Amino acid sequence: MMLTPRQQLILSAVIEDYVRMAEPVGSRALAKHEEIQFSPATIRNEMADLEEMGYLTQPHTSSGRIPSQKGYRFYVDNLLRQGHVDRSAGAFLKDFFTKRIDEVEQVVREVSTMLSSLTRQTSIVLGPNMYTEKVRKIELIPIGSGRAVAILVTDTGHVENAHVHFSEDIRVDDVEAIVNVLNDKLVGVPISKLRSNLYAELAEELSRTVERFEDALAVLSEVCQVTDREETVYIGGAANVLSQPEFHDVEKAQSILSLLEQGGTVTSWFPKDERGLTVRIGAENSVGALQDCTVMTTTYSLYGHPVGHIGVLGPTRMDYNRIMQILQYTSAALTEFLTRWSTGN
Amino acid sequence: MMLTPRQQLILSAVIEDYVRMAEPVGSRALAKHEEIQFSPATIRNEMADLEEMGYLTQPHTSSGRIPSQKGYRFYVDNLLRQGHVDRSAGAFLKDFFTKRIDEVEQVVREVSTMLSSLTRQTSIVLGPNMYTEKVRKIELIPIGSGRAVAILVTDTGHVENAHVHFSEDIRVDDVEAIVNVLNDKLVGVPISKLRSNLYAELAEELSRTVERFEDALAVLSEVCQVTDREETVYIGGAANVLSQPEFHDVEKAQSILSLLEQGGTVTSWFPKDERGLTVRIGAENSVGALQDCTVMTTTYSLYGHPVGHIGVLGPTRMDYNRIMQILQYTSAALTEFLTRWSTGN
DNA sequence: GTTTAGCACTCGCGGAGTTGGAGTGCTAAC
DNA sequence: GTTAGCACTCCAACTCCGCGAGTGCTAAAC
């Protein structure tokens, strides 16, 4: 069942040609490759075998072959020659990451547009989540008529806020009391723990120390809800799907673009609880509209924990090698940036 | 030079038919309208005149007529029969705006997707700017190793934040001193005034009262920079451009989509310093890629001042009447929501 | 003078027929 | 096992043609 070296050679040649030209590749064309020393006839025989085994398909009898999903899978798993990002991309990336930026959000957003312009595909970036960060301070700022803004600052300087409603006649003391309890109990606690048992403990503490229990509870529940904030999704180069010949069919393109528009859906394309690089080819994506697409993703980390995802969406006919290199480089650089940033530049 | 009533009738019939069918409309088809009581021959004569005057064009000799840009312009300026949103849209809108939501950002974002699904076009919404809001409180929260987060809360509860770098050896007192001066001087000041003469005055005050002048200045300049924050841009239904027959040409569609992706550019499509409804038809848009598009926009307000924009982008062949009604309704409802929201729900 | 019927003409569109080329599978020779 | 040769397949591009929708013009009717 294993492929002979020659078959592997031919398979990768087919894939690489097809990725470049977007057209079925025939035996004559392959024979011109310098690594390939056999005659077209031999190649034809091998290709017929590869087709029989399901690695190649023919759009119609007597046209060249194109890789099947199984073919791509084998290629990604066994034939990708690891390496470094190519010259120009490397320069571009190095340049990008030496620019000094210090707002995380801005960096993440720019990574998204950078990835899409470098790969000429659509990029998807999930902003870093804050689960591992710890509460630094909670503030409660009244803004009149029984309303206030609750502000939570994490140890890395993330700021989240939520609006809270109070009873009309709450007093400044009450507000202060609430804030004090919250800060006493929550400073230093990781965001991911806010929801859990702490909630009960805090509710109890509040009921003991604070007069305005309902109001305090309102604040507490708002504060805890930051846990539920979805990671922000940045999508770059969505228009690039239209430049792929496989999406000149407007219907397909539209279905993909509408998917991309619903930020929520996109989140689910990323493998949960998996770090490092993943490649989802065609039907492996489970989402119907992505049957002809490959989604390649990886994670970036802070203090050794993956905190966000970066990914590239393109046709199954994508330059796996190049994009993989770019993603890995970017992931590493982003991780490094985050560490530098969170330890004080 | 003025059009006769009959010509106006025919012009609007042509436009309304064309908007519906997206195909050149001929004399026979028009003659079937019940408002139109003339024979096809008469209509042909009138259409020939309208073409000569530039209100209609013919894609090729002997095909129906389509409206020219000038035709649309005349239609929008003189023939649009004002009215109310149609039944189903009205119900939809009413329903949308009675849902109780209380985060401004969320409302604005949802308005964007609502507009696009209701109009089946692309919607563009600029979030409310804060120029008219006043500073409620400024906080400065150290997060270790010479860094801090500056937080600015406005009277309506907007929260903005920025990171600040200090000298390593700054003391808590210094930080407090800075915050105090800033709050003393800035609370109650409208955001729009932060940049102006106040800056100089404050710098001077800080130099007198605060030891760490450079650090104070760093904070001040970060705080003042919130003025420069661009309004957030929400784009909804970008994929809808592909469902318009005029954009089945992938090239065109792509150029529009890439434009939409650069949020910054989009901002410039909105007329500055103009309130109320504007319609930019075809070449009136000045941006090359929008030659076949119409951008219809209006503003929404808070306390009588326009604070944001909503708009719809579609082909010049759009349902001007319907979209205009929807925009006006939405603008009013959004204004009302904002007032209700900022005066305490 | 305005409106209308009639008619010849134009032009794009879709289907049918044709051709050329790229590519295959098979067979037989090396 | 490899390769040259050959017959075969099928798409893509092209041309040709007829149809139909629509026009402009003219002459008659109102």
Across A308-327, average pLDDT: 96
> How far is A246 from B51, CA to CA, in rounded Å?
41
DSSP labels for A175-199? HHHHHHHHHHHHTT-BGGGTTTHHH
When pLDDT is cut at 50, 70 and 90, the band that residue B221 belongs to is: confident
Contact between B191 and B135 (Cβ < 8 Å) = yes
Task: Return the number of other C-beta atoms located less than 10 Å from residue B2's C-beta.
Answer: 7
Backbone angles phi, psi at A90, to 5 degrees: -60, -45
Say what the pLDDT of residue B146 is: 80
Mean pLDDT, residues A184-209: 81
d(CA A223, CA A213): 15
Give the orientation angle of helix A197-209 with respect to helix A213-224, to 10 degrees: 150
* pLDDT score of B196 more than 80: no
The residue among B268, B270, B292 whose CA lies nearest residue B279 is B270
Which of B125, B139, B168, B172 is the best substitution to test chain A (most A C-beta atoms within 10 A)?
Answer: B139
Among A321, A285, A258, which Cα is nearest to A83's? Answer: A321
For B128-158, what is each residue's pLDDT tens digit? 888 888 899 999 998 877 888 999 999 888 8
Mean pLDDT of A244-249: 88
A interface mutation test: which of B104, B160, B166, B250 has the most A CBs within 10 A?
A: B250
Strand C atom within 7 Å of A255 CB: no
> Mean pLDDT over residues B67-83, rounded?
93
Of the candidates A11, A44, A8, which has an alpha carbon nearest to the alpha carbon of residue A28? A44
Q: Do A238 and B238 touch (CB under 8 A)?
A: yes
A74 burial (CB, 10 Å; 0-12 / 13-18 / 19+) is buried
8 Å CB contact of A159 and B143: no
Per CB-CB distance under 8 Å, the chain B contacts of A258 are: 239
Q: Pick from A310-324, B90-104, B266-280 the range whose average pLDDT is largest.
A: A310-324
Chain B residues within an 8 Å CB radius of A261:
236-239
CA distance A208 to B51: 82
A278-281 and B305-315: which strand pairing?
A: unpaired
**B242/A254 touch (CB, cutoff 8 Å), yes or no:** yes
Q: What is the greatest pairwise CA distance in chain A? A: 90
In chain A, residues with a C-beta closer than 8 Å to the C-beta of B253 are 242, 250
Please name which of B96, B191, B175 lies closest in space to residue B143, comparing C-alpha atoms: B175
> What are the structure tokens assigned to A332, written together?
């590493």
Given an 8 Å threshold on Cβ–Cβ distance, is A143 in contact with B153? yes
When pLDDT is averaged across residues B18-44 and rounded to a whole number, the result is 92
Q: Which residues touch strand D (CB under 7 A)?
A: A 37-42, 45, 59-63; B 24-29, 40-41, 44, 47-48, 51, 58, 61-65
Whether the CB of A29 is less than 7 Å away from nucleic strand C comes out as yes
**Structure letter (DSSP) for residue A127:** P
pLDDT value at B345 more than 60? no
pLDDT at A136: 93
Mean pLDDT of B93-97: 93
Chain A residues with CB-CB distance to B under 8 A? Answer: 102-103, 136-137, 139, 141, 143-147, 149, 151, 153, 155-157, 159, 161, 163, 165, 236-239, 242-243, 248, 250, 253-254, 257-258, 260-261, 343-345
Provide, as residue numbers in chain B, all residues whose Cβ is less than 8 Å from the Cβ of A343: 145
> C2 C1' – A271 CA distance, angstroms?
76
Q: Please, how many CA atoms are within 13 Å of residue B169, restricted to the half-sphere of its CB?
A: 1
A153 neighbourhood in chain B, CB within 8 Å: 141, 143, 149, 151
Q: Which whole number is the average pLDDT over B303-330? A: 95
Indicate yes or no: CB of A343 within 8 angstroms of CB of B159: no
* Residues of chain B positioned with their CB less than 8 A from the CB of A159: 149, 151, 159, 161
Per residue in A28-64, pLDDT tens? Answer: 999 988 888 889 999 999 999 999 999 999 998 889 9
In the numeric block, the tokens 């057209």 are attached to A23
Statement: residue B1 has pLDDT above 70:
no
Q: Which of the 8 DSSP states describes residue A102?
A: -
Whole-angstrom distance, CA of residue A179 vs CA of residue A183: 6
Q: Which nucleotides of C are covered by protein (CB under 7 A)?
A: 3-6, 9-12, 22-27
Rounded to an integer, what is the distance from CA B33 to the centroid of its chain?
Answer: 36
Question: Does the CB of A67 sit below 7 A from strand C?
Answer: no
> Residue B320's pLDDT band (boundaries 50, 70, 90)?
very high
DSSP E strands in A82-239: the ranges are 122-126, 135-142, 147-154, 159-165, 233-236
Least confident range from A321-325, B150-154, B167-171: namely: B167-171
CB contact under 8 A, A151 and B151: yes
Q: What pLDDT was estimated at residue A243?
A: 93
Three-state DSSP class for residue B83: coil
Q: Report the distance separating Cα B294 and Cα A254, nearest Å.
A: 21
Taking the C-alpha atoms of residue B340 and residue B300, their distance in angstroms, rounded to an integer, is 14
Shortest CA distance to B14 belongs to which of B82, B88, B89, B70?
B70
List of chain A residues whose C-beta atoms are within 8 Å of the C-beta of residue B102: 163
Residue of B nearest to A341 (CA): B147
Question: CA–C1' span, A42 to D4, in Å?
Answer: 11
User: What are the pLDDT digits (tens) for A166-188?
Assistant: 887 777 888 888 888 889 888 98
Spatial distance between the Cα atoms of B334 and B252, rounded to a whole number of angstroms: 33
> What nucleotide is nearest B41 when CA is compared to C1'?
C4
Residue B52 has pLDDT above 90, yes or no: yes
3-state secondary structure of B270: coil
Nearest CA of chain A to the CA of B48: how many Å? 36
Short-list A327, A331, A299, CA closest to A313 = A327
- Contact check, Cβ <8 Å, B261/A239: yes
Tell me which range, A16-20, A246-250, A269-273, is most confidently predicted by mean pLDDT: A16-20
Closest CA to A152 of B342, B101, B151, B163: B151
Helix A87-98 to helix A104-119 angle, to the nearest 10 degrees? Answer: 170
Task: Identify the helix (H) or strand (E) that includes residue A14.
Answer: helix A5-21
The 3-state DSSP class for residue B58 equals: coil
Q: Is the CB of B42 under 7 A from strand C?
A: yes
Whole-number distance in Å between B61 CA and C21 C1': 38
Is residue A117 within 8 A of residue A238, CB to CB? The reply is no
Higher pLDDT, A221 or B255: B255
Averaged pLDDT, A104-131: 93
Kindly state the average pLDDT of the residues B59-87.
Answer: 92
Q: At CB < 8 Å, which residues of chain B contact A?
A: 102-103, 136-137, 139, 141, 143-147, 149, 151, 153, 155-157, 159, 161, 163, 165, 236-239, 242-243, 248, 250, 253-254, 257-258, 260-261, 343-345
- E strand or H helix at B72, and its extent? helix B69-74
pLDDT above 80 (res A211): no
Q: Does the pLDDT at position B47 exceed 60?
A: yes
Q: Which of A11-15, A223-227, A255-259, A315-319 has the lowest mean pLDDT?
A: A223-227
Residue of A165, A248, A257 lying closest to B238 (CB–CB) = A257
3-state helix, strand, coil in chain A (%, to 5): 50, 20, 30
What amino acid occupies position A24? P
Positions of chain D reached by protein Cβ under 7 A: 2-5, 8-11, 21-26
Tokens of A273: 């609880």
Backbone angles phi, psi at A36, to 5 degrees: -105, 120
**How far apart, in whole angstroms, are the C-alpha atoms of residue B6 and residue B43?**
9
**Amino acid identity at B288:** G
> Based on the number of CB atoms within 10 Å of its own CB, is A99 exposed (0-12), middle (13-18) or buried (19 or more)?
exposed
A107 three-class SS? helix
Contacts of B258 in chain A (CB under 8 A): 239
For a pLDDT cut of 70, what percent of chain B falls above it? Answer: 98
User: How many angstroms separate the Cα of A116 from the Cα of each of A89, B288, B340?
Assistant: 12, 23, 41
Q: In what order do the strands lie in the sheet with B147-154?
A: B135-142, B147-154, B159-165
Of B160, B282, A277, B185, whose CA–CA distance to B150 is shortest? B160
User: What is d(CA B209, CA B213) in angstroms, rounded to the nearest whole number?
Assistant: 9
- Is the Cβ pair A163, B102 closer than 8 Å? yes
Q: Of the candidates B152, B102, B153, B94, which has an alpha carbon nearest to the alpha carbon of residue B332?
A: B94
Q: Chain B contacts of A165, Cβ < 8 Å?
A: 345
Half-sphere exposure of B20 (CA within 13 A, CB side): 7
Nearest to A150 by CA among B176, B163, B71, B139: B139
Q: Give the H or E element holding residue B278.
A: strand B278-281
Over residues A7-29, mean pLDDT: 94
pLDDT of residue B164: 85
Q: What is the pLDDT of residue A344?
A: 64
**Of B285, B317, B321, residue with least CA distance to B67:** B317
Contacts of A336 (CB under 8 A, 6+ apart): none
Best of A125, A261, A340 to disrupt the B interface (most B CBs within 10 Å) is A261
